[in-house]
Amino acid sequence: MMRRETILNLLVFLALPAVALAALALDEPFTITLATRAAILALAAVGLNLALGLGGLVSLGHAVFFGLGGYAMGILASHAQSYAPLDLGLFVIDGTKSMPVIWLVAISVSALAALLIGLLALRTTGVYFIMITLAFGQMFYYFTISWPAYGGEDGLSIYVRNSFPGLNTLDPVQFFGLVFALLALVLWIMGRIERSAFGLALGTARQNATRVETVGLSPFKLRLVAFVISGAVTGLAGALFADLNRFVSPTMFSWQMSGEFIVFIVLGGIGRLFGPVVGACLFVLLEHLLSGVSEFWLIYLGAILLFVVLFARGGVIGALVGQGGRHE
Amino acid sequence: MGWMSALLLIEQVLNGLQSGIMLFLMAAGLTLIFGVMGLINLAHGSLYMIGAFAAAAVAGATGSFVLALAASLVAAAAAGAVIEVAVIRRLYDRDHLDQVLATFALILILSEGTRWVFGSFPLYLDVPAALAGPVTLPGGIQYPAYRLLIIVVGLLVAAGLFLLIARTRIGIQIRAGESDREMIAALGVDISRLYTLVFALGAALAGLAGALVGAIQSVQVGMGEPVLILAFVVIVIGGIGSIKGALVGALLVGLTDTLGGVLLPLALSGVMEASAATSVGSALASMSIYILMAIVLIFRPTGLYGTA
């Protein structure tokens, strides 16, 4: 018999395409876009969850990777749009409108940034780590604001959504399908990582770093690898988010974005593979419903979040399956 | 270097000092709260904002800047005490993730609450007329009197804080609380009252900084968070829990930020054309304090004055 949590996971996961297909039947493209947005934000938080949920690394700067993914898309597509080659100093490349190429660049760039930030930030733990990741996020935010080449504070618009072989990405439901397939793939990979020797060692390093060192593994290296993979996945989500909106701006780097990713994870239930998916869907739903009720809907969101943190530590999944968080 | 550019440099050093000393008021509260209660408080920026709004509201109603400053202290300290009793107190035994989330939730509530009461448009808090003009410093430097006052007030508050911690009974309790919580509770100190007091003190410092800076910039929702993150950089550089570290870190960050913004474009104009030098220089300057933080981290992962 399947565990209640597994059933719930499947239900929530399948609810996303169900909503998208129902919206297609009812001819409500905006709802499909909402579902796509939820799936992309979920993907970003699934990336963070590897570092935060499994590795115990409270990164308050994952917007860096989200933003880098976004700007990877924005910069490549804007050069393709203007037919001006992109001069990188050492070599010159052409812009591109091809999603697979853009994704690869987004993943590489954010993995590289995660490596550099991780090398510095992982020298510390606890509050220092939180503050440092937050500070690096702010560095990228101000850098993009003061760098005029790609729109500065105003951001960068891309007029036509990028292409994927065999699909019409301008059709909302086809783009949703593509995003959903990527989310499913990444969740599958994350599930494998969690159960792999690496994932087990990473989880142990969170609970008791000495135990990991005793068997000859380096907690620092485990965490660094986790941080890099985590950043790469969030970077991919950033490229998709930019493609959804056909717009990138410094707000993708903002600290609120980083905070929201953590909120998704905790709303859903920390340390659970599907926690970020549940959390992101719930967030997008709340945002949609509450913002219709009141201009000041963030007050309600804050109150809900405060309640979850103070009284419902297992998140939504924990409340529904009747057990607390997996972390104790 | 010519006489004019030397004057410009001194003016910028004073500006850096002024922004550094305001950062210190923020960072001192944060580092004290972390040192004594082990709490990371993201909502500290909201207390800065509350101080600024209280000052703007009172100045608007009475026209008195002194009353406005007093209001900023009282409002922020009161808000701090209420928040501590209602929410923060439940977080001392929790892990840092819960603290981050709960105080993130507080930011949402306090920011939107302020927007609800005061509206989305920025308020303006006027510099008192007597201080609106420049004063002439030795060497013929013209410098705004109000900014000079901020430096002096900030330094006085810093000195007062050091005295409070080093010389008074409450300071002894705070220092004892940093090193051994259970012991001072066993000695009969009302620990939960001490925590509320420390939190309110940190809040009052943040509120005062908000009001003082609010008169130079505009008073608006969201003004606290950029300052909060800068204060984090200060604490990482200075070392968590160290007031001295907060002072040194704040001055370093204030000076680097201000001087970088002026000197980097100037330095680069020697090697590239003017417009490029301005844009590259300002982009680099926006990164300078984080680079400073990275360098400190490489050599001293626990900050300049941090322990363990």
Half-sphere exposure at residue B219, Cβ-oriented, CA atoms within 13 angstroms: 33
Q: CA-nearest residue of chain B to A262?
A: B101
- Are the beta carbons of A305 and B104 separated by less than 8 Å? yes
Q: What is the pLDDT of residue A59?
A: 94
CB–CB contacts below 8 A, A to B:
120
Q: Which two tokens stand for residue B275?
A: 């417009």
Q: At what angle do helices A126-146 and B224-238 cross, to 10 degrees?
A: 130
Distance from CA of A22 to the nearest CA of B (A): 33
Q: What is the complex's ipTM, to 2 decimals?
A: 0.89
- For residue B235, list chain A residues with Cβ-Cβ distance below 8 A: 131
Distance from CA of B135 to the nearest CA of A (A): 33
C-alpha distances (whole Å) from B158 to each of B20, B50, B196 are: 12, 21, 21
Which residue among A135, A142, A149 places its CB closest to the CB of B236?
A135
Q: How far is CA A319 from the centre of its chain?
A: 24
Whether B138 shows a pLDDT value over 90: the answer reads no
pLDDT in tens, B97-122: 999 999 999 999 999 999 999 988 89
Residue spans per domain, chain A: 4-321
The string of DSSP codes covering A15-40 is: HHHHHHHHHHHTT-HHHHHHHHHHHH
Place of tokens 């209420």: B82
Which residue among A60, A143, A255 places its CB closest to the CB of B283?
A143
H helix count then E strand count, chain B: 11, 2
Q: How far apart are CA A6 and CA A178, in angstroms?
A: 24
Mutate to test the interface with B, among A145, A306, A308, A326 (most CBs of B within 10 A): A306
Q: What is the pLDDT of residue B50?
A: 97
Distance from CA of B23 to the nearest CA of A (A): 15
Distance from CA of B39 to the nearest CA of A (A): 9
**Secondary structure of residue A167 in the 3-state scheme:** strand
Q: Which two tokens stand for residue B178?
A: 């940093």
- Are the beta carbons of A262 and B97 separated by less than 8 Å? yes
Half-sphere exposure at residue B284, Cβ-oriented, CA atoms within 13 angstroms: 15
Query: What DSSP designation does A93 have?
Result: E
Q: How far apart are CA A135 and CA B31, in angstroms?
A: 16
Q: What is the pLDDT of residue A270?
A: 81
Q: How far apart are CA A263 and CA A62, in angstroms?
A: 12
- Are the beta carbons of A120 and B297 separated by less than 8 Å? yes
- Are the beta carbons of A146 and B282 separated by less than 8 Å? yes
Q: Which two tokens stand for residue B89?
A: 């107190």
pTM: 0.91
Q: How far apart are CA A280 and CA A40, in angstroms?
A: 9
Q: What is the pLDDT of residue B2?
A: 67
Residue with the bigger pLDDT between B82 and B299: it is: B82
Arithmetic mean of pLDDT, B208-232: 93
Torsion of CA B210, B211, B215, B216, to 10 degrees: -30
Which residue among B40, B90, B286 places its CB closest to the CB of A146?
B286
- For residue A296, list chain B residues with Cβ-Cβ distance below 8 A: 112-113, 115-116
- For residue B113, list chain A residues with Cβ-Cβ distance below 8 A: 296, 299
**Secondary structure of residue B51 in the 3-state scheme:** helix
Q: CA-nearest residue of chain A to B238?
A: A128
One digit per residue, pLDDT tens: chain A, 328 residues? 467 777 887 888 888 899 889 988 898 888 999 999 999 999 999 999 999 999 999 999 999 999 999 999 999 998 888 777 777 767 777 788 889 999 999 999 999 999 999 999 998 888 889 989 999 999 999 999 988 788 888 888 888 888 888 888 888 899 999 999 999 999 999 999 999 999 999 999 998 888 888 888 899 999 999 999 999 999 999 999 999 999 999 999 999 999 999 999 988 888 788 889 999 999 999 999 988 888 888 899 899 899 988 887 767 777 777 654 444 3
pLDDT bucket at B3, cuts 50 / 70 / 90:
low
Distance from CA of A139 to the nearest CA of B (A): 6
Closest CA to B29 of B224, B204, B181, B179: B204
Which residue among B115, B286, B293 places its CB closest to the CB of A143?
B286
- For residue A60, list chain B residues with Cβ-Cβ distance below 8 A: 100
The string of DSSP codes covering chain B is: --HHHHHHHHHHHHHHHHHHHHHHHHHHHHHHHHHHH----TTHHHHHHHHHHHHHHHHHHH--HHHHHHHHHHHHHHHHHHHHHHTGGGGTTS-HHHHHHHHHHHHHHHHHHHHHHH-SSPB--PPPGGGSSEEEETTTEEEEHHHHHHHHHHHHHHHHHHHHHHHSHHHHHHHHHHH-HHHHHHTT--HHHHHHHHHHHHHHHHHHHHHHHHTTS-B-TT-HHHHHHHHHHHHHHH-TT-HHHHHHHHHHHHHHHHHHHHHHHHHHTTTS-HHHHHHHHHHHHHHHHHHHHHHHHHH-TT-SS---
Which residue among A124, A146, A310 places its CB closest to the CB of B301?
A124
Mutate to test the interface with B, among A59, A64, A134 (most CBs of B within 10 A): A134
CB A279, CB A45: distance < 8 Å: yes
- For residue B120, list chain A residues with Cβ-Cβ distance below 8 A: none
Query: What DSSP designation does B109 have?
Result: H
Q: Which positions ≥6 away from B106 have C-beta within 8 Å? A: A302, A306, B42, B43, B46, B83, B87
- Are the beta carbons of A58 and B100 separated by less than 8 Å? yes
CB B118, CB B50: distance < 8 Å: no
Whether B247 shows a pLDDT value over 90: the answer reads yes
Judging by DSSP bridges, how do beta strands A86-87 and A92-93 pair with one another?
antiparallel
Q: First vs last Cα of chain B: how many Å apart?
A: 44
Residue spans per domain, chain B: 12-129+136-221
Place of tokens 């968080």: A325
- Are the beta carbons of B98 and A309 separated by less than 8 Å? yes
Q: What is the pLDDT of residue B261?
A: 83
Residue with the bigger pLDDT between B182 and B256: it is: B256
Closest CA to A37 of A293, A228, A281, A220: A281
pLDDT in tens, B197-215: 999 999 999 999 999 999 9
Q: What is the pLDDT of residue B1?
A: 53
CB A246, CB A159: distance < 8 Å: yes
Which residue among A136, A138, A309 places its CB closest to the CB of B105?
A309
Q: Which two tokens stand for residue A144?
A: 């993009």
- For residue B93, list chain A residues with Cβ-Cβ distance below 8 A: none
Q: What is the pLDDT of residue B245?
A: 92
Distance from CA of A150 to the nearest CA of B (A): 12
- For residue A52, list chain B residues with Cβ-Cβ distance below 8 A: 97
What beta strand segments (E) does B96-249 contain? 134-137, 141-144
- For residue A125, list chain B residues with Cβ-Cβ distance below 8 A: none
Which residue among A147, A263, A266 places its CB closest to the CB of B283?
A147
**Secondary structure of residue A92 in the 3-state scheme:** strand
Q: At what angle do helices A4-25 and A29-49 cross, to 10 degrees?
A: 150
Distance from CA of B97 to the nearest CA of A (A): 6
- For residue A143, list chain B residues with Cβ-Cβ distance below 8 A: 283, 286-287
Q: How far apart are CA B229 and CA A87, in angstroms?
A: 34
